[in-house]
Every structure is written in C-alpha cells, then in structure tokens.
C-alpha cells in the first residue's frame, strides 16, 4: 500500500532511530509505515507487516485502546493540533506494564493538505517518590524487577516503606492486614540479614533498589497531557 507519498529523508530518519518508535497512518487510521523500534514497543516481531492494517487488526496488547487512538487521530488531522499522552500498558522490549510517552501530530503534503498522522513512542522518565524524598532528581523509575531477592508481594511493601508510609498506611494501600505486612517484612529481614525496617530501607537504597515501581501500582490507561 503506497497511498501516501512520504519524503525519503523522513523515512531514513525513522529507520535509523533505534530508541523512538515511529509510525505513519493515513486518514482512515491504516498504517502506512512503522519502524522497528515501534514494533518493539508494541511487543511484536520486527518482521510483522503493519502496512494497510489498523491497530485493532494487529495482535498487540495496546490495541485495546484502538478506538481512543482513532478518535484522537481524527482530531489531530482536522484541527492541526499535536496531542501528547502517557500510555500505560504491556509494552516495550521487556513486555511489562509500563508508561510510555507518545505524540500524535498531523502529516502534511507539499500543498499543505493534511494526509495523515505521525505517531512517536518513547520511554518516559518518571521520578519516584523516593527520588524526591532523597533529592536524587537524576534517578528515574524502573518498572522491571531489579533483583529476585524479594517476591513481588515483598517488593510492594518495600516500595511503600521507601515512601515513608507507616505499617498501617501500607496495609491500607495494599488492602491487607498489618500482620500480613509484618509477615512480608520478616521474610525480607531473613533474606537481607537485617532486623529493622530502617535497616531494610538502607539496604534497598545502598543496593539501588529504591527506584523500582512494582506492577501493582501501574494501571492501564491513556492520559492526554494538556497545557
């Protein structure tokens, strides 16, 4: 399918970009072009052929937002507006729940007529509460478990402990009893050889575990950034 004439230098720039995912859609939301990085972000084989398909025809997790994406593409094309959003879903090389920053912007031909939408997807740098509390503004969140020393349930307690929450507050956030929180802490004490919550926090900070956000705290969604 070659219904759109895309400048060669634009395609070349996209092809050489191994970090940012780039895609071009026509005015019916069918893909005209997709680079390898885009396919990796969408957790599909780089050999997969997107051309002529709509996102809901592609077997990727984020396709459940297809209707939202199409509505936004029509808005972008009709108004010339650039939309920026944070999309949280199963995505990326790691194939885990994580947020990404994406942009939808109008694509114009030489006569100034809008002929489609350019989409870009890239990693989003998020400061964790622990980074803010400790003044580590250059330490961004990670969404892949940094170590197998703790179970995912223990990581949840660890994250909230690092955020300076009390045991009662942790139990409320996780919807479990204080005894259950203490049980996870005792298990973590045994694994790390420490005997207090304060020492456990120090262990995590020293081990650079304090920038991990467990999957429990990541919810699927697509939020447009305004302003």
CATH number of the domain that residue 189 is part of: 1.10.10.10
Q: Report which DSSP code applies to 35.
A: -
92 and 192 part of one domain: no
**Mean pLDDT, rounded, for 208-227:** 90
35 Cβ partners below 8 Å, 6+ apart?
A: 14, 15, 17, 21, 22, 23
End-to-end CA distance of the chain: 37
User: What pLDDT score was predicted for residue 61?
Assistant: 97
Asked, for residue 62, whether it belongs to a domain, the answer is: yes
Q: What is the mean pLDDT of the chain?
A: 92
Q: Does residue 46 carry a pLDDT above 80?
A: yes
Q: Is the pLDDT at 97 greater than 90, yes or no?
A: yes
Report whether pLDDT(9) > 90.
no
Domain membership flag for residue 225:
no
Of the candidates 124, 156, 175, which is a domain's last residue? Answer: 124
Output the CA torsion sign for 137, 140, 145, 151.
positive
CATH of residue 59: 3.30.450.20
In a domain? residue 69: yes
Q: CA separation (Å) from 132 to 139, 141, 163, 164?
A: 9, 11, 10, 12
Domain hosting 190: range is 129-216
Domain count, the chain: 2
**pLDDT tens digits along 148-201:** 999 999 999 999 999 889 999 999 999 999 999 999 999 999 999 999 999 999
d(CA 3, CA 175): 53
Average pLDDT for residues 39-57, to the nearest whole number?
Answer: 97
In the block, residue with structure tokens 């060669």: 8
| pLDDT tens, residue by residue, 58-84 | 999 999 999 999 999 999 999 999 999
Q: Verify that 54 and 140 share a domain, yes or no.
A: no
User: Is the torsion defined by CA of 46, 47, 53, 59 positive or negative?
Assistant: negative
| pLDDT value for 1 | 38
pLDDT band at 129 (very low <50, low <70, confident <90, very high): low
3-state helix, strand, coil in the chain (%, to 5): 40, 20, 40
Instruction: For residue 1, tell me if it sits in a domain.
Output: no
List residues bridging with 96 in a β-sheet: 91
Provide the token pair at 34. 């997709």
Q: What is residue 18's DSSP assignment? A: S
152 by DSSP, 3-state: which? helix
């Amino acid at each position: 399918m070659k219904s759109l004439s895309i400048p060669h230098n634009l395609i070349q720039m996209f092809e050489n970009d191994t970090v940012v995912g780039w895609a071009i859609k026509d005015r019916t939301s069918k893909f005209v072009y997709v680079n390898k990085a885009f396919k990796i972000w969408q957790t599909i084989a780089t050999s997969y052929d997107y051309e002529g398909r709509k996102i809901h025809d592609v077997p990727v997790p984020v396709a459940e937002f297809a209707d939202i994406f199409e509505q936004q593409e029509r808005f972008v094309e009709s108004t010339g507006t650039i939309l920026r959003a944070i999309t949280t879903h199963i995505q990326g090389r790691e194939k885990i729940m994580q947020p990404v920053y994406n942009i939808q912007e109008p694509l114009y031909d030489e006569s100034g007529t809008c002929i489609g939408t350019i989409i870009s997807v890239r990693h989003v740098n998020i400061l964790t509460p622990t980074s803010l509390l400790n003044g580590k503004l250059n330490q961004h969140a990670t969404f892949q478990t940094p170590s197998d020393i703790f179970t995912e349930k223990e990581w949840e307690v660890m994250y909230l402990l690092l955020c300076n929450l009390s045991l009662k507050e942790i139990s409320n956030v996780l919807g479990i009893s204080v005894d259950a929180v203490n049980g996870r802490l005792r298990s973590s004490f045994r694994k790390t050889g420490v005997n207090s919550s304060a020492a456990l926090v120090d262990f995590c900070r020293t081990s650079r575990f304090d920038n991990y956000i467990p999957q429990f705290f990541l919810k699927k969604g697509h939020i447009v950034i305004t302003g």
